[in-house]
Amino acid sequence: MDLGISGKVALVTGAGRGIGAEICRTLAADGARIAVNDFFQERAEAAAAEIRSAGGDAIGVAADVTDLASIEAAVSRVESELGPVDILVNNAGIPATTTQDAVPSTGGFFPASSREDWDRTMGLITYGVLNCSRAVIGGMQERRWGRIVNVISDAGRIGEPRLVAYSMAKAGVIGFSKALAKESGRFAVTVNCVSPATTVTDATREWIEKQGEAIMRGYPLAKGLGRLGQPSDIASAVAFLSSARAEWITGQVLSVNGGYSMAS
């Protein structure tokens, strides 16, 4: 199926590895020109170089999504090097650790959480989405074509213990997406959410291994397919919602989760 995004410019946040990097590869394979954002410059550059070596068009744009000025500067760079942003995927959502190798914490129970934990989670998820969306939405509305896809989490739909603030922040992105979808419909700009449950990435691999076989029981399709969610599962859904094919879909939340939750 031709997604109709050849030549479109896509900015994907938190895309130096994991789900975001796979989203970039998937959109690039459909001919989109990719701006790979990450907090870590080396990750952003490496992911962009990989796309270029596969014949795609990509640049790395390091920026902290929690910092509006840094994101506005990154968007200006994307506009001058690739063109105006047609597709924004707000994927950054697991706080960057201070070193590249550290695995982000999966969190403790709520009573033990601190204001610092909340600020880090809210800063990244809430302000990250606000900053990046504000930086591109005006241009999309003017050009009367745009896609914003927010990668949330089933934690935001059904709540997850040990991820209380994270669940709250991701749920907030659903409200944001619906409200912005309503504002943007008259400009033919769509805003949707893709909601993964556990997906095997560098951020989760160690935790998944600790759970052992038991984790498979929570996912009806894991029994049939003998696997958990992969970044490619999420990327396919994001690519569809980013595409010309999805122009009549807005304000929706699509769980890509092997049947983990069936929230309506």
Cα maximum dimension of the chain:
50
Query: How far is it, in rounded angstroms, from Cα 185 to Cα 199?
Result: 31
> How many amino acids of this chain bind ligand NAD (CB under 6 A)?
33
Length of the chain: 264
Select 93 or 146, whichever has its Cβ closest to ligand NAD: 93
151 is a contact residue toward ligand NAD (CB under 6 A):
yes
50 is a contact residue toward ligand NAD (CB under 6 A):
no
18 is a contact residue toward ligand NAD (CB under 6 A):
yes
Stretch that binds ligand NAD, among 14-22, 181-189, 219-227, 235-243 (CB under 6 A): 14-22
26 is a contact residue toward ligand NAD (CB under 6 A):
no
Q: Are 10 and 32 in contact (CB under 8 A)?
A: yes
Cβ atoms < 10 Å from Cβ of 165: 18
Find the shortest distance in angstroms from Cβ 2 to ligand NAD: 27
169 is a contact residue toward ligand NAD (CB under 6 A):
no
167 is a contact residue toward ligand NAD (CB under 6 A):
no
Select 44 or 145, whichever has its Cβ closest to ligand NAD: 44
207 is a contact residue toward ligand NAD (CB under 6 A):
no
Query: How far is it, in rounded angstroms, from Cα 51 to Cα 25?
Result: 6
H-helix segments, the chain: 18-29, 41-53, 68-81, 115-122, 128-143, 155-158, 164-184, 205-211, 220-225, 231-241
Q: What is the DSSP letter of 199?
A: B
Q: Active site includes 166?
A: yes
List residues near ligand NAD by CB under 6 A.
Answer: 13-14, 16-20, 37-40, 43, 64-66, 91-96, 104, 124, 151, 153, 196-199, 201-204
Active-site positions? 166
